[in-house]
Amino acid sequence: MRQQILSDVASYVAKAGRVGRLVSIMIGDTPEVAVYIRGQARAADQVGLPFDQQVWPGDITQDECKRRIQAMNDDSDVLGIILQRPVPAHINVRSLQSAIHPLKDVEGMNPASVGNIIYNDVALAPCTAAAAVELIRATGLPMEGLEVVMIGHSEIVGKPAAMMLMAEGATVTVCHHMTRSVAMHSRRADVVVVAVGKAHLVGADMIKPGAAVIDIGINQTEDGIVGDVETDAVKEIAGWVTPVPGGVGPVTVAILMRNAIVAHQRQMAAGWLD
């Protein structure tokens, strides 16, 4: 994916002399967020996209945040806007995501971007959800009719991933905290995608032999960072298991860069660029 993006960026630069920059916004000083930003900056550098890291004061007002985002929406040199999470308690993150213009929403978190998935327009979908679909596709399993169980129904991952998989022709069951027996559903699935944020939630007894398991969970424990899956046990049963860390995360960042290319193409088509 990164090789294709690198080629696309080089082509756009050759034609126009430049390509717009990605702007990362961190509100307040959050060390754990800085780790994600470094990964994004490194990936942007690898594909030739300018990356602008901005840290806004932790006591900035909601109105000032919106004013700054609007200025970026109007700036043709800004290719895409990345709003890092979490944000301070007094900031309404959904409101700020809505303020980012859909054509600059490289994270796919504007309600319009999420809504487009219902109409099978997934080109600017939420990055982690798109990464899960990309990883399933990479197994070679046929998407049409594939039995997928999605454990977790968040607006960021679970719901959009389920809709994207349905767009691919999969049969999707979504489980959540009110599901009576998650294991009953997961044991029959060809693919299990889990994004809950609970360490070792999914064990080997919940997986059908040969199934693909996509672990999106990230949990800090005494033993370090682990996912939602008991990886060592599950890998003896499953056909594929994504590791944590190092599985979904790098693909998510690559999707972010791919979304930037889509944003550039759509901005050109809309006549935003010279």
Each residue's pLDDT tens digit, 35-94: 889 999 999 999 999 999 999 999 999 999 999 999 999 999 999 999 999 999 999 999
pTM metric for this prediction: 0.93
Q: Terminus-to-terminus CA distance in the chain, angstroms?
A: 27
| Structure confidence at residue 273 (pLDDT) | 78
How far, in Å, CA of 251 to CA of 137, rounded? 12
- For the structural domain made of 127-243, what CATH number should be given? 3.40.50.720
189-224 residue pLDDT tens:
999 999 999 999 999 999 999 999 999 999 989 989
| Residue in 68, 71, 72 with CA at minimum distance from that of residue 27 | 68
Q: Which CATH class is domain 2-106+250-269?
A: alpha beta
| Structure confidence at residue 183 (pLDDT) | 97
Cα-based distances in Å from 251 to 128, 177, 247: 8, 27, 7
Asked if the model's pLDDT at residue 18 lies above 90, the reply is: no
Asked if the model's pLDDT at residue 274 lies above 70, the reply is: no
Residue 116 structure tokens: 């487009």
Cα-based distances in Å from 68 to 51, 55, 62, 63, 80: 17, 12, 10, 9, 14
Task: Determine the average pLDDT of the residues in 165-178.
Answer: 95
Residue 126 structure tokens: 């939420």
Domain boundaries, the chain: 2-106+250-269, 127-243
| Structure confidence at residue 32 (pLDDT) | 81
Domains 2-106+250-269 and 127-243 are alike in CATH topology: yes
